[in-house]
Structure 1
């Protein structure tokens, strides 16, 4: 592996939108998301992040091929579905940074690459000096979900190792078309938080 991790500005990210959209579709097709991805939706979503100067983009390359990524933006920039659980629990949106994803192709997992780029995202947020909390959301699947692969391990231990804590009181729903569904339906999402 010839791994390179790059932190990009919003403008520097624009040429990589299509590649990251394809990577997101590929990763989120896997369990636990089981999402039948929409490439145009992903491109539009990622492009919206480039509209904010404070957004953070950390990309992972293997010999110039995009194999992992994390994007983040202040929570105040996010959709209502993401903001509402925090507003309902009296959190100050201006103090929170939201990480949209931390994804890595399977063959690159278990080599501390995810740890390295997650730390770069946190470092970039800390450098801004005005945020107190980092958060992200994950789909809430039941432990006995019959679609869960036998060898699948939830990444909870990884996140706990980075000092994130699951907050079940912060819950929302995202709509997407799951494998086997005829149309999109709401999926429960739980937030994890880390205090800086």
Structure 2
């Protein structure tokens, strides 16, 4: 059992952790299914919105004050426009949804309940702020993708056990360069929703 401390920080208090989170995102999202070839400059720009939001939360997983995992959340209205668009198109009130950005955790710390703590604390913040729903999105890849590892298992069962369900009518399109790729390509991001 590791000695991981879970610590939520909010608003401007997330700022000191953003550089480490940027590096962590790049490391974890290189894995299948994201296969994300990230760049620090883009990551820091993307993460700045969490420091700028008064209602953002960053749940840190720390081992001896070293960031080994993190989960982010903020009001959907303050998220990227590409993430808001599918909700607007369906007429969903953006102010009712608290958006969960990422949950990233280094491999040696998985399977110890950290993922559940990430969801527990973000859901509590969403409820405290008065939101009615929480949402996140995950990349969709075909089952026979050539980079899919033989031992890969989807997180769908974990998410469903927490009462999150995929919303076929809510999809976002994001572009990034895959590991080993030469140029960005479009990815479909499936939204999962949970009612508080």
TM over 0.5: yes
Number of equivalenced pairs: 195
Structure 1 gap ranges (5+) = none
Query: What is the TM-score normalised by the length of structure 1?
Result: 0.96
Q: 1-side partners of 2:109 and 2:29: how far apart?
A: 16
The residue matched to 2:52 in structure 1 has which SS?
A: coil
Structure 2 gap ranges (5+) = none
Q: 2-side partners of 1:169 and 1:97: how far apart?
A: 18
Q: 1-side partners of 2:81 and 2:21: how far apart?
A: 23
2:42 aligns with 41
2:158 aligns with 158
Give yes or no for the alignment of 1:10 onto 2:11: yes
Q: 2-side partners of 1:155 and 1:59: how far apart?
A: 20
1:67 aligns with 68
1:108 aligns with 109
Q: CA deviation at 1:180?
A: 2.4
For the 8 Å contact 2:14–2:50, the answer to whether it is kept is no
Q: 2-side partners of 1:189 and 1:114: how far apart?
A: 20
1:28 aligns with 29
For the 8 Å contact 2:87–2:170, the answer to whether it is kept is yes
Give yes or no for the alignment of 1:94 onto 2:95: yes
For the 8 Å contact 2:68–2:105, the answer to whether it is kept is yes
Give yes or no for the alignment of 1:50 onto 2:51: yes
4+ runs deviating over 6 angstroms: none
Q: CA deviation at 1:111?
A: 1.0
Q: CA deviation at 1:117?
A: 2.1
2:186 aligns with 186
